[in-house]
Amino acid sequence: MEPIFALSLSIPVRLAFRNFPLITLILTVTLMWLMVIHQEKQGQPEFDSSSDFNTDEHRQAQDLEKDTNGFIFTSFSSESRCTLQGLLPELPFSRSRFDNKRIIRIFDYVRTGKSWENLVNQYSICLATQSSLDRIKHIPELLKTWRGPVSLAVYITNEEEWLMLNLYIRFLERCYPSFGNQVSIHLAVPSSLDQFCFKEGVLEKWEANQATIENKYQCHEVHDFMNLLISTFPITEKAKLALKEVYPQNHMRNIARKGCATDWTFSTDIDIIPSEGLAENLQEFYDSLKENRINCEKCAYVIPTFELEETQPFPKTKRELIACYESGAARQFHGKYYSTAHNATNFPLWASTNLEDGPVTLSHNVTSSQTFLYEPFYVSSDLIPPFDERFLGYGFTRNSQFQAAFYAGWNFTVLTPVFNIHPGLQTHKTVISPKKEGVGKNVRKEQTSRNYQIFKKVLKEMKLKQAEGIF
Ligand SMILES: *[C@@H]1O[C@H](CO)[C@@H](O)[C@H](O)[C@H]1NC(C)=O
Ligand SMILES: *[C@@H]1O[C@H](CO)[C@@H](O)[C@H](O)[C@H]1NC(C)=O
Ligand SMILES: *[C@@H]1O[C@H](CO)[C@@H](O)[C@H](O)[C@H]1NC(C)=O
């Protein structure tokens, strides 16, 4: 029997069998009988000994037959458990590529947005973002306000996550047409993973729960659906180990950025929500620079980022945002914990410039005296230095990139009246030790102190490069 056919047959049959054993038995036996007759008519024996059906599998099939009272559930062959014929899109490992240090394996464009071509022609700015599996649930929020192209790099560490990612993508495609249209996905896995082979029981578990998994949740329950997936496929020991390993943030940022085929990129974190219509607003700004023949090669434009109390509605205009800012419901991103991250944007000054809706204009320059550990979200051409891939995990990942740009002579100017919002105020807990299954609470601290040692050396390197003019 063809494996693909067997696969597609076995799933519904098992479900049906559980619920209506007798009817299913009769129907299936009839169907099998018809198939045997059909095959015999074509002169093919049912199990051709010359085919690649080996004896072990033959024995397994016979055992299965016994176990199920003569009712054959054709098992997956051990091979199809790895290649997932017909079940999930295959990942072409033969066409993947490695990062420079062979830490990760990269698959570009595992999924291309349906409107990708049009969007990339229409917009000169693409939003580049990255995520682990558990954080993809933020993307529908982001797509409410951003209508340009999105290049999303996703890091997964094992087969189960690949299965979950596919189920989640299917859910997002069904529920959010904007996701289907705007988002192209690039995938990265640890380089040690050179094929996907499912552990005994994982696919069976998926089959058994398929109806619940796919249909139970309503479209707005994006977070609940991800939580369900995570609890249906509890984290394996292997995945736990992988989680303790570092998430290669800067690799992922670079992959996402390189996946943008536009002049400018807007590299953000996945939980950062742009102000309404940001893509269109930035496009107008971009066009006006072109019209006025302002061609600043080393200019980057900062979009001020605020954090907002969960209970507050999303501000539609700068004026609404400033009202929140003045009441304390909004503050600069990381304002309370780790204020150096965004302070150089100068929020008090921005709050006083151009409150009117209207075209994007320059608010003020970021001045050099206060930019140490600065990590703004900005748009720029992709000629700006990449994220330094020597930093793995948390700490100094974005600010080291800002420093490199700064030493390379880039100027940063803050735009108005556009902005970004991080929903929820940052607390000590969210910054230092966010809860993540299987991860000890000191993981971020350890990674940060390791990266600090690297940062000190990298700073010296940057200063040398600047002095030698080799940026
Ligand atoms: C950046 O700013 C400095 C000083 O403010 C100025 O001298 C330089 O020309 C600017 N560079 C660019 C590329 O605009
Ligand atoms: C943050 O920026 C404001 C405005 O530029 C400045 O007055 C203040 O001293 C800065 N705070 C820190 C901690 O750098
Ligand atoms: C930013 O600095 C440049 C020179 O470095 C100056 O020409 C420009 O006017 C400044 N922009 C603003 C908005 O202050």
Residues 296-312: pLDDT tens digits? 999 999 999 999 999 99
Q: Which ligand is nearest to the CA of 363?
A: 3
Which ligand has an atom closest to residue 332 CA? Answer: 2
- For 125-134, how does the pLDDT look when each residue is reduced to its tens digit (9 = 90+)? 999 999 998 8
411 CA to middle of ligand 1, Å? 6
* pLDDT for the residue numbered 14: 54
Asked whether 296 lines ligand 1 (CB < 6 A), one says yes
Atom 7, ligand 2: residue with shortest CA distance: 346
pLDDT of residue 3: 38
Q: For 14-35, what is the mean pLDDT?
A: 59
According to DSSP, the β-strands at 411-416 and 361-365 are: antiparallel
Question: Does pLDDT of 463 surpass 80?
Answer: yes
The CA distance from 37 to 39, in Å, is 5
- pTM score, two decimals? 0.80
Q: Of the ligands numbered here, which is closest to the C-alpha atom of 414?
A: 3
Residue 250: DSSP 8-state: H
Distance 365 CA to ligand 3 centre (A): 6
* CB-based contacts of 199, cutoff 8 Å, min separation 6: 159, 160, 236
The count of C-alpha atoms lying within 13 angstroms of the C-alpha of 416, restricted to the half-sphere facing its C-beta, is 20
Whose Cα sits closest to atom 10 in ligand 1? 411
Pairwise CA distance, residues 328 & 330, whole Å: 5
User: Which of 295, 366, 410, 411 maximizes ligand 1 atoms within 8 Å of its Cβ, making it the mutation to test the pocket?
Assistant: 411
- Read off the pLDDT of each residue in 222-247 and give the average, rounded to a whole number: 72
Kindly state if the Cβ of 34 falls inside 6 Å of ligand 1.
Answer: no
Distance CA 410, CA 297 (A): 8
- Tens digits of per-residue pLDDT, 322-376? 999 999 999 999 988 888 899 999 999 999 988 888 999 999 999 977 888 999 9
Q: How far is the CA of 310 from the centre of ligand 2 (A)?
A: 25
Whether residue 79 is predicted with pLDDT greater than 60 in this model: the reply is: no
Ligand 3 proximity of 364 Cβ (cutoff 6 Å): yes
Which residue CA neighbors atom 2 of ligand 1 most closely?
Answer: 411
Of residues 221 and 5, more confidently modeled = 221
Q: For ligand 2, is residue 343 a contact (CB within 6 Å)?
A: yes
| Residue 343 Cα to ligand 2 middle (Å) | 6
Please work out whether the CB of residue 365 comes within 6 Å of at least one atom of ligand 3: yes
pLDDT at 387 over 60: yes
Task: Report pLDDT digits (tens) over 430-440.
Answer: 665 555 544 55
Ligand 1 atom nearest to CA at 368:
5
More confident residue, 67 or 90: 90
Distance 14 CA to ligand 3 centre (A): 69
By most ligand atoms within 8 Å of CB, the mutation choice from 360, 365, 368 for ligand 3 is: 365
What number is the average pLDDT over the span 142-150? 97
Q: Which atom of ligand 2 is nearest to the CA of 339?
A: 13
Cβ contact 150:183 at 8 Å? yes
Please give the DSSP secondary-structure letter assigned to residue 366.
Answer: P
User: What average pLDDT does range 56-66 have in this prediction?
Assistant: 42
> Which atom number of ligand 3 is nearest to the Cα of residue 364?
13
Low-confidence winner among 53-57, 147-151, 241-245, 264-268 (lowest mean pLDDT): 53-57
SS3 assignment for 72-100? CCCCCCHHHHHHCCCCCCCCCHHHCEECC
Residue nearest to atom 10 of ligand 2 (CA): 343
Give mean pLDDT, residues 446-468.
93
CA separation, residue 452 to residues 193, 335, 393, 431 (Å)? 29, 21, 12, 16
Question: 396 - beta bridge partners?
Answer: none
- Confidence label for 72 from pLDDT (cuts 50, 70 and 90): very low
pLDDT at 47 (0 to 100): 32
Token digits of residue 466: 């600047």
Note if the bond before 417 is cis, omega within 30 degrees. yes
Instruction: Dump pLDDT digits (tens) for 412-431.
Output: 999 999 999 999 998 766 66
Are the C-beta atoms of 379 and 303 separated by less than 8 Å? yes
The verdict on the CB of residue 201 being under 6 Å from ligand 2 is no
Q: What is the mean pLDDT of the chain?
A: 81
Contact call for residues 345 and 332 (beta carbons, < 8 A): yes
| pLDDT tens figures, 157-166 | 888 888 889 8
Residue 150 has what pLDDT?
A: 98
